[in-house]
Amino acid sequence: MSHRRLDLADGDRLPVVSVGAGGMGRAWLGVLEASAEVDLVGVVDLDETAARSAVAALGRPDLPVGSDAVALARGTGALAVVDVTVPAAHHPVTTAALRAGLPVLGEKPVAATLPQALSLAAAAEVTGELFMVSQSRRWNPQVDLLRRLTARLGGVGTATTEFFRAPRFGGFREEMAHPLLVDMAIHAFDTARFVLDDEPVSAWCTAHDPPWSWYDGDASATAVFTTAAGARYTYTGSWCAPGDETSWNGSWRVSGRLGTARWDGDGDPVVALGDGATADDREGVAAVLTGPRSPHDGIAGALSVFVRALRTGEAPSGEVHENVLSLAMVDAAVESAGSGEVVRLDDLLERARERAVEEEQDAAVREVLAAWTTVRAALGATGLPARVGP
């Protein structure tokens, strides 16, 4: 989707306010402060004491703070907002910023609910402002390498992510109905869409909680997605699996016509080509393995891509329309785990659109939502857009 381009001269830093002074908010503050591309001009939190504590910890106690992102942006001259609030606040904070003419870089998930996510996509269309979601693992250089190697496999038949860890978080995660699917699996789901350059069309999932689990909800799950190209992507894992734990990124295997790519989640991916691979195929894989690597990494990479997109007007990977299907995969998995039935993503999206229209308070946004021929078409979800950056 096109968005308004900011007229920033070469060398000008983008002035931003950051919203949210919790743990992840403070991590972002460190990245914003260290960036040569942005100028952190204010910090927002409903608890201004928390905001003051955060700026003091940053070594900038005189940095302006407030409880309203739009008001602080106007008072400080900020041209963009970084939203690191809790998921329930993503929709109101981002909507207010977009209406005020402020592009937004937000933390995942795009919103607390799929209808709210669709509302934000429509709001971006109405305002013409960029809303990009920071799915930080997309900017992992090894993930980028896995994506480029996967493209050399001559088409994908199956892909699998295994994720097994045993964290004891305490707090809200241990009280959630589906802690693994809702709080963690979205990272793998989004990464799978990126690596396969393909989109989900259906989901089947089963979830359970082992008897030794310290979670109230289902901390273990297996989800199988069928993609538009006919591949099967399987995610299987547990958050109460002590012992031989996987990487936080999971362990990946992608099987294609010409061979297999594997990634342990920490080091570089490896490839084994089969007998059907030609000399040209092998040279192509070697060129990927020895060629230049992505310069982006983690949330700092997301920030850099966001700034570049505002300078150029190009749609970045993670733009709201493109990101929504990652949240839809989570919702489809949860729905299937509850019903035991296969869930069609298009049905899920259309039901979410109906709710979004019913709940929408902005007449212009509601009109855009109602006018979409189909949600999938509106999201441009036939494949991933060309991404900004290498």
Which homologous superfamily does the CATH classification assign to the domain defined by 1-139+297-321+349-390? NAD(P)-binding Rossmann-like Domain (3.40.50.720)
The CATH number, out of the four listed (3.30.360.10, 3.30.9.10, 3.30.465.10, 3.40.630.30), of the domain defined by the range 141-290: 3.30.360.10
Beta strands, E only, 87-151: 104-107, 131-134
Beta strands, E only, 35-180: 38-44, 65-66, 80-83, 104-107, 131-134, 156-164
Beta strands, E only, 264-348: 270-273, 343-344
Selection from 220, 151, 165, 178 nearest residue 383 by Cα: 151
What are the extents of the domains in the chain? Answer: 1-139+297-321+349-390, 141-290
Question: Each residue's pLDDT tens digit in the chain (390 positions)?
Answer: 789 999 988 889 999 999 999 999 999 999 999 999 999 999 999 999 999 999 999 999 999 999 999 999 999 999 999 999 999 999 999 999 999 999 999 999 999 999 999 999 999 999 999 999 998 888 899 999 999 999 999 999 999 999 999 999 998 889 999 999 999 999 999 999 999 999 999 999 999 999 999 999 999 999 999 999 999 999 999 999 999 999 999 999 999 999 999 999 999 999 999 999 999 999 999 999 999 998 889 999 999 999 999 999 999 999 999 999 999 999 999 999 999 999 999 999 999 999 999 999 999 999 999 999 999 999 995 444 333 333
pLDDT at 381: 58
Q: Please list the residues that pair with 225 across neighbouring strands.
A: 203, 233
pLDDT at 384: 41
Q: Please list the residues that pair with 270 across neighbouring strands.
A: 262
Structure tokens at 283: 């040279």
Contacts of 351 (CB under 8 A, 6+ apart): none
Are β-strands 200-208 and 343-344 bridged in parallel, bridged antiparallel, or unpaired?
antiparallel
> What one-character DSSP code corresponds to residue 319?
B
Measuring CA to CA, how many Å separate 380 from each of 1, 11, 198, 325, 362? 9, 33, 12, 10, 23
Q: How far apart are CA 119 and CA 339, in angstroms?
A: 26
